[in-house]
Structure 1
Amino acid sequence: MAINLQQTSARLNFYMRIKELDVYQLSVMTQTPPDVVGCILQGEDYCMDDLVALLKQLPDLNSRWVIYGEGNVFKAEGKEGEHALPSGLKKDRSAYLAEMQALLHQLEEIEKQKQQENHLDQLRSKIRNLTKHI
């Protein structure tokens, strides 16, 4: 399964907004250099080991959700199947729903852009093949 750095970045940014963290706070909390955190949050090229090390320092965050978009933002707490709100999470669910909707829209836009890039690559390939015959 391929990892989309932009989607990973968007998900981690969403988590930071929920927890009301800035780059410096996340850097200190995860013992990750601020420039590495910045690269991850901007969806730039970075080492997956850096991302994994950062995620290991956030015990309430579901790393599969960050990387693959699978499951919930937060790991389930308590018994299996129970989903309690993580500590420090605000109670205003309507704000979170609006935030989640905005994130989903952003992820859809990234997917559309990715599909357009694939379509452009196909067109470029066709043009190269046609120009070979000229």
Structure 2
Amino acid sequence: MAIDLQQIGKRFRFYTNLKELEMEDLKAMTGSDEETLSHIIYGRNIVLDELVTIIKNFKDLNPQWLIYGEGSMFKPMDENGNCHDHQKGCLKKDKAAYLKQMKDMLIELDAAEVAKGHKPDIDALKAKLDQLKATE
């Protein structure tokens, strides 16, 4: 399976937006400079070693999803239901705002995948989000 740097960038941006992480947060959490982080966020000139080093700092981020778009964005919670991200905690947004942002970002990711001729399970994810929204 080929690695698409632009898709990695979009997924990483999706994750950091969802977690409400600004560039200063990313620099502090990873110890990386702004140029390296910008290259990853915008999907250009990514050095694999730098990407791996950065991924290690996000305990809840599923690297398989980030790199290949497979599986869930987040690693499973532990058996106690605890969030893996001890530095930032769990999501700060209310559920409705979170679901709306997720849906908007899924639409953006879906458009990018369709433009490349891929048809992932985005429709299934959208249906789950609609289901969650309906249960509020």
Give the TM-score of the pair, scaled to structure 2: 0.72
In structure 1, the gaps of 5 or more residues are 116-134
| TM-score between the two structures when normalised by the length of structure 1 | 0.73
Give the distance between the partners of 1:101 and 1:34, measured in 2 at CA.
Answer: 28
Q: How many residues align?
A: 113
Aligned alpha-carbon RMSD (Å)? 2.0
Aligned partner of 1:113 in structure 2 is 115
Q: How does 1:1-134 map to 2 (within 5 A)?
A: 1-79=1-79, 84-86=82-84, 87-90=89-92, 92-115=94-117
Runs of 4+ in structure 1 over 6 Å off: none
Structure in which a larger fraction of residues adopt helix:
1
Secondary structure at 1:8's aligned position in 2?
helix
- Percent identity over the alignment is 39
Look up the SS of the partner of 1:60 in the other structure.
coil
Higher relative contact order (CA 8 A, sep 6+): 1
1:91 CA drift (Å): 5.3
Q: Secondary structure at the match of 1:49?
A: helix
Q: Deviations over 1:65-112 (max 9, x none)?
A: 111122222211223xx7655533125222222222222211222123
Q: Deviations over 1:111-133 (max 9, x none)?
A: 23324xxxxxxxxxxxxxxxxxx
Q: CA–CA distance in 1 between the matches of 2:15 and 2:94?
A: 15
What letter matches 1:44 in structure 2? R
Following superposition, the deviation at residue 6 of structure 1 comes to 1.8
